[in-house]
Each structure stands twice: as C-alpha cells, then as structure tokens.
Amino acid sequence: MKGNSTVAVHASATGRMTPIAAAVAVLAMGMAMSAQAQEAASPENVVTVTGMRASLQQSLNQKRNAESLVEVITAEDIGKMPDKNVADSLSRVAGVTTTSAGSAEGSFGENEHVQLRGMLSQLTLTTLNGHTVSSGDWYGPNIAAGGRSVSYTLLPSDLVGRIVVHKSSQADLTEGGAAGTVDIQTRRPLEFKERLTTSASLEAAYSSAAKSTDPSVSALVNWKNDDNTFGILAQVFSQTRKLQRAGSEGVWWDKTGATYPDPALANKNISLLSGAVLFEQERKRQGGYVEAQWKPQSNVTLDLSAFLSTVDAKNYNTNYMADTINAVNGPGWNGVAVRPTGAATVSGNTITSIFFDKNAFGASSAGAFSVVEDVAARPDAKTDSKFVNLDAKWVVNPDLTVNGKLGHTTGSGKTKDVGFEVLSGWNQGAGYSLTSDGIFVLNVPGGDKFVKAGGGIGGWGSYSESTDKETYGQVDADLKLESSLVPSLKFGARFAKHERQLTKLAMTLGAGAADEGQIPDSAIGNYDANWYGNLPVNPTPGFRPFKISNDYVASWVAKYANFNTHAYQQEFDIKEDATAAYLMANLQPSEMVSGNAGVRVVRTKMDIEAYLPGGAPSYSQSFTDVLPSLNLRADFSKDLIARFAVNRGMSRPEFGQLAGNDLQDLQHTGVGSNPYLKPIRSNNLDLSVEWYFAPKALLSLGIFHSKLDGIIAYGHSILPYADASKAGVIANYDISAPINTDGRLNGLAAAYEQNIWGGFGLSANYTYADGKQTSKLASGTCNGKAGEDCTLYGTSKNSYNTGAYYEDERFSARVSYSRRSTYKLGNRGGADYFQSANGSLNLSLNYNVNKNITLTVEAQNLNDPLLTVYKTDTTQIAGVYKNGKTIYGGLRLKY
C-alpha cells in the first residue's frame, strides 16, 4: 500500500465487467465492510498511529479538505516515499497512468513519464514546489523529440514530502497542463519538529537480468535555530544501477513485391531484419538539494532552494539480426529475389515463418549475408536537471498576503549514438518464425560463429545534444474580503522566457574504419547463457548468438568516429515567451457549498529556427488563451462530499513537434515536424462523490469528459531529406508529421481503500478512459476508411491498481499490482505503433529495529512482464522486451 489518497478498483473487473459494473462492484465492497468500520470510527476507539497508516490518513485528510479535485501522496517519513522515483508512487493513483518509455524504444524498467485523464504525458504539467523544472534525456530519439514533460528518472523519491495531483485546474495554477498538474513538494527546513534532524538510507540493488548488485546512498541533514526563524536543509543522493534488457525486434518490415517468385507470398509483409537484442546499461544518478528558510521579521519569510541531478547512462545495444534482405532484393541487391526453402506461413497479410537455406541462391551466394550484427554504442550518454529558486512571503496585514517567486532552471541531454555493424557470411541460411507472443525465433544455422566474408565494418551515427532553460518570475496576492459569498480573492501574474536548442552533428569515419580484419578473435564472443530466460530465440536449444564486445566497439568509436558536421535538417532553436495573469474568487455560497471560480489569461510568443523541406529557415507565431475555471464542493455530511469542476486547459506542442525530425536512413522513414502547430486546448468536466466512511478509509466514484481542440495526430507525406548514410544523396523519406485535429475523452475513476482490522488494509482503484480523434485526416490513420484507428495516442482504455498492506509497531509490508491496457504509442512512416497491455507486481517490507533504525526490502517488477511494441497490424512486431526483476535491500537511519 502506498501512502496515496486513492488507490484502485479490483483488476479482474476490467476483463469480465463493463466499466460501470466494475465501479458498482467497488461501491458494494466498501458498503459490505463499512459495518465493522463504524466501530473504529467512534471517538472512544480512535487510536493515534504512525508509519504508513499515518501517511494514509494525512493523504486522505488533505484530499478531503481541498476545494478542487486533487489526489495527495504523503511520504511516510523522511526518505520513505515508498518507491524509487516519483513516477512509481504516482502509478498507484486512480486516474494516473505512467509510461516507462518516451518513444517506441520499449521499456527500460523504470517509470519515466506521468499521464492524467488517460491522455499523453505532454498534456500533464509537472512542477516542483510550484515552479517548472527543465530536464533532458539520454536516449537520442527522445533528445530530438524535445519533450516538455519532466523525465522522472532525474527525480529520486527521497526528495519528496508530498505530491499533489491536480485533476481539475484552477486559475492560480501555472498553465501548461491541459489534462492536469502534478506538483512535487519537498520538506521545508522550518517545518521539522526537532532542532537537528539527520537521516540516511543505505541500499543495495540486485538486478536479476544483469546479475549485478549495486549501491544506493542518500542522506539528509536539517538544522534550525531555537526561535524557528532560520533553517537549512541539505540532501544528497548517489544511486547506481546496472540494467540488462533482453529483446526481440522486427527492425525492418517491408513487402515482397508483386513479382515475387512465389506467388503465394507476393505483396506480403516480411521482416527483412529480425533481431535478438541485448541492451546493457549502467545508470548512475547523483545530485543534491539544498534549501534555506529565513524569517527576518515575523511577517516575512524568504526561501532559497537549489537542485542538481545528473544521470550518467552509458549503454550498448547489440542487435543480432537474421538477414532475409538478400533473399527478397537479391544478392548484393541485384533485384533477383529467390524462393524460400520449404513452406512459409502467412497470417493475414504478413509472413510469420520463412527460411532460406544455404543453397537458396543456387551456384553462388556472393553478396549475401545470413547475419547483420549492429552494436549501437552510446558511451557518454547523460542527462541533467538543475534549478535555483527564491520564494518570498509577506503578510502585509491580516487581510493581505503577497507571495513572490523568481528562478532559473536548465536541463540537458547528450549522447553519441554510433552503430558498429558487421556482416556474417552466408553460412547455412537464414530465416525466422514468429511465436504467439510476437518473439522472433531466428533460424540461423551456425550463427553462433562470426564468419568474416568481406562485408567489412559498417558505421552510422551522430551526436545529439539538447539544452532546455527557463527563467521565470511570478507574484501572487491573497486578499480577504468582508463577504460571506466571496471570503477572499487571489490574483497574480507570471512571466517565463524559455529556450530549447537541439544540436545534431553527423558522423564521419576515419580511414581504415571499415577493415573487418582489425577485429581480434578476443573481441568475438557470445551472448551469455540463458540471456533471454525461458523465451525461445533459436530452434537449437542453448543457442547463443555471436557478440562483438562492448569494449572493442567503444575503442573503435574512439579511434575512428568524428563529429564535426552539423546535420542542419535536424537541428532547431526555439525561443518562447509566456506571460499570464489571473483572478480567482474563493466561494462560500452556503454552509454546505464552497469552491472557487476564476480566469487565467496567457499570451505565448514563439520564434522557431529550423529546417523544413521546401520551407523557410525561421517561423514565428503567437497566441492568446483565456482559461476559465470553476470548482465546487458540497458537504452533504461530514463524511460524504461531492465535487463538480469545469475548466479550460492548454498545453503547448512539444518542441520536437514544432521543429527537427527523427529519420531512419536505412528504411527511409521518419517523424517530421510542423512549425505551425497550435496549442492543445481541453474543455474539461469532472463530477465525483467521495465517502470517508471510516478513519483511513475512502470510497469514491468520478466521471470525467474532455473536449479536445488541437489534439495531435499524424499526417503522412513523402519528403526529400539528405541521407546521412550516403554523402550527398537526397532521398525521398516516408514521413509522419504532427497535425492539430479534434478529439474527445470520456471516462470514470473509482477508488476504495480501508484500514480493515489489526493492522491489515486494502486498496483498489480502476480508471476507464475512452479517447477518440473526432476529425478524419485523409493522410492519417483515422481516415474514414476500413480498418482506421481513431483512438487517442497514449490512452489506455482500462487501468487499475490493487494492493494490500499490514503494519504493526515493528513490521510493515505492502504488495501492489498495477496494470494498463494496450495504448497507441506513436507514429512513424504513416504507421501507428502500440504498446501492449502490461502490469507490474511490487513488494515492500520494513522492520523497525528501534526508533532510529529500519531494515528494508523492496522488489519491483516481480512478475517480469513481457512488453510488446507492434504496428497497426498486430502480426508486425516492432519489439518484445523483458527487463527482469530488481530487489533492493538496506537500512534507513534517523536521528
């Protein structure tokens, strides 16, 4: 059980019940348990508790007392947010889903982005103590994508005092979250009870896939003076983790062509490169947070804070691929296709099994290769985030309080992304077959040996670096009025200057780079035994693909790779100025009803410098948004609360959607940009009922609706770009580019949680979200034709979390399972990509040796889920991945 305020309806409802029936089932469950809870609710039986039950009570109290629709997660104690990063904790909240990938790269085993209302993460604004935080990424395509959503890999949960999820907007919240806002709040120095507080956490993390145990350390010191007018908090963290991800990928899907020699296989989808993928990474997250609070006068408080987090993320991705390119395009690409050996199998319009033996080319197989091995080396990948922020509070008089905020935040990401590629000679043939799970079983007889056959060493690559920075300032005033209807007014203004730059340098190789003879025998090994667990990889039991060592590839990159030519067609520089002002009235129309109403007006101006085929080198646009909001709560009794909210929100397009592109030169496909994109506007409606039927207990049901103006879809076109793999060549690329269109979202969220008896508690939540694109695009995938897909990107129809916990004075335990259904991940070359349904089982155990020492054991991804990414046709598998389990063990110290 997490210390969150709502946690989800039972999972099995999604498979056997309609969403309404599932919600009714949850309500019935709570009613059945309420009888025993009433005894616990009586005043004479109230008991003061600590630990996770106290955290749960705090979270529920803060949610209950809020005027708008919020969820609250409260840390149990210093350094005891019950997950490894903030997104992990948020995944337990009803109406919140998380993603563990930013692009079509699959998952790397750690939650990275947060989604509200079932919509894309770019529509959720994340702030820290009410201000924005810049960040970057370490993975090349995500660096190029220029996302606005904070990468939660940079935010360790040790920082958190509480998290407030604003599901409904209000005028005093910073604009940018069309779906909602997540505010991460740290502890403040003067909030601590003791004059001196110290705590530390020492852990070891064991990865079952990487078979590695790595250290994690964090520490906090807080001191304040005796009269509570000055305090300083300092926190540091250092966390190392080795990752190993096993994968199976359909790297290059194409068609056989109308004149293919076997008529039964003509014009069918075929995987030309089918890979067994081994991703290896060492992540080291380091940084710190410092904050000083000073009250020079009783009515003035100054608060200065600074944060730095860096993630070193060097990684290597080895892709051992069965090569059927030459069988379809002819040896040496001479255009003479050959028939397969034996019978192939076809499902729909896709070839699911095919094999070409060593004699498939007849007398000569010159120019044909059975294996392509590609090692993507990113030896210096890293990302960082930092900020300096000054808060000031001035209580002018009992009726007027003024708050100010001024700060600067920067984030960056950079990586070399170099492909080292070798071809193994046509030995005993090549082919593949697809299992029911979408795994490519590679039929490459003798493919455990690297056969040098004159293919040389191929190389592709680039250097990507992004910088993201914002300078901001705001002032807010709270004025009490002598009015029972409008007890107070809040008003203020904010400005922000934002800049996002992407630098992309093309790679050139020095003389001698292509000589495969330089590869020593010592650099040629094999994948580890059982590297893929119990999943099939080859028809031969125990088959281990050959592997060129990471160290050798890194030395080859250092010796031959040069990055000195700007890839101007992919670079961009975007400057964005935003000014906003708001007025909000707090309302008390009756003793039973309260809330707030307001309006926020925002002016955004953008200057974009970027390359667009056939276009201008620079673009400018500006737009004004008027964002009204109304939040009402009705207290029907002390335990039963109803809420109503209506508002208009906005999110600006991702920077990478406005400029730049992500191209795949081998396939001549990619994702382009559109400098004429407008913001996504969302008219949101929420209605919910909350029943606090016992201490530390909640039963809630809510419905929501969003009408989306400008939601992003992808058009499809053929555009000329320079082929980075062939100097001086301009080629036609099959490009998907973002377009504003219309959509709508309907959904419901139900939640139940209760401390049942004797330290045992249960929690469950369920969210149903039905999102559709409502405008057809002739060049898109929602086009009015048979087989169209009009679902919104990022929206899972069903998601849920279930959990249970136990706690006594010495021992506590939690177990939880979160799952979300299939959702549309992105678009490339006119085709949609989907992430399969997936879930994660997590466990946490704590034993209090005494009041100062706690022993901890935590486990993530205990079920080791199989994650699948596929194209619109589910038989065209893009990737299947397994990350393994991670077990954490250690101790927490507090004095």
Sign of CA dihedral 14, 20, 21, 22: positive
Q: State the chain's maximal CA–CA distance in angstroms.
A: 97
Compute the distance between CA of residue 82 and CA of residue 2 in angstroms, rounded to an integer: 6
What pLDDT sits at residue 716? 80
Contact yes or no for 72/213 (Cβ under 8 A): no
Per-residue pLDDT at 30: 37
**pLDDT at residue 103, rounded to an integer:** 54
Whole-Å CA distances, 612 to 306, 422, 659, 673, 735: 39, 34, 8, 8, 12
Alpha carbon distance 66, 167 (integer Å): 12
Per-residue pLDDT at 779: 85
The whole-angstrom separation of Cα 439 and Cα 370 is 19
What pLDDT is recorded for position 667?
Answer: 75
Task: Show the CA angle centred on residue 240, arms to residues 239 and 246, nearest 5°.
Answer: 135
Reduced to 3 states (helix: H, G, I; strand: E, B; else coil), residue 521 is: helix
Written as six digits, the tokens of 547 are 């592997």
Run means of pLDDT, 10 residues per run, the chain, 895 residues = 33 35 36 36 35 71 84 69 67 79 64 84 92 90 82 74 90 95 92 93 92 93 96 94 90 90 93 93 94 97 96 95 90 84 92 93 83 95 96 97 98 95 88 91 91 89 95 98 95 98 94 95 91 71 90 96 88 96 96 96 96 79 97 95 97 92 77 90 96 92 96 85 73 85 96 90 94 92 88 94 91 91 86 89 92 92 89 80 91 90
The dihedral over CA atoms of 599, 744, 678, 70, expressed in degrees to the nearest 10, equals 40
Entry field: residues in the chain:
895
Q: What is the DSSP string of 579-593?
A: EEEEEEEEE-SSSSE
Cα dihedral 26→635→68→600 (10° resolution):
140
CA 843, CA 815: separation in Å to the nearest integer? 4
**Tokens 């953008």 map to which residue?**
606
Structure tokens at 215: 């250290």
Alpha-carbon distance 493 to 583, whole Å? Answer: 9
> Residue 41, Cβ neighbours under 10 Å: how many?
15
CB-based contact 350:308 (threshold 8 Å): no
Are 704 and 673 within 8 A, CB to CB?
Answer: no
Output the 3-class SS for 172-183: CCCCCCCCEEEE
- In this structure, what token pair is assigned to residue 858? 């935590």
**Angle value at C-alpha 624, between 473 and 794, nearest 5 degrees:** 85
Residues 734 and 720: their CA atoms lie apart, in Å, by 9
Q: Which residues contact 108 (CB under 8 A, 6 or more apart)?
A: 100, 101, 243, 245, 279, 281, 883
- Name residue, tokens 């983790």: 241
Q: For residue 502, what pLDDT is reported? A: 95
Burial (CB count <10 Å: 0-12, 13-18, 19+), residue 95: buried
632 phi-psi bin (left φ>0, alpha ψ -120 to 50, beta other)? beta
Beta-bridge partner residues of 683: 648, 707
Q: Is the distance from CB of 750 to CB of 94 less than 8 angstroms?
A: yes
| CA-only gyration radius of the chain, Å | 28
Q: Answer for the pair 497, 474: CB distance below 8 angstroms, yes or no.
A: no
According to DSSP, residue 256 is labeled -
DSSP string, 827-860: EETTEEEEEPPEEEEEEEEEEESSSSEEEEEEEE
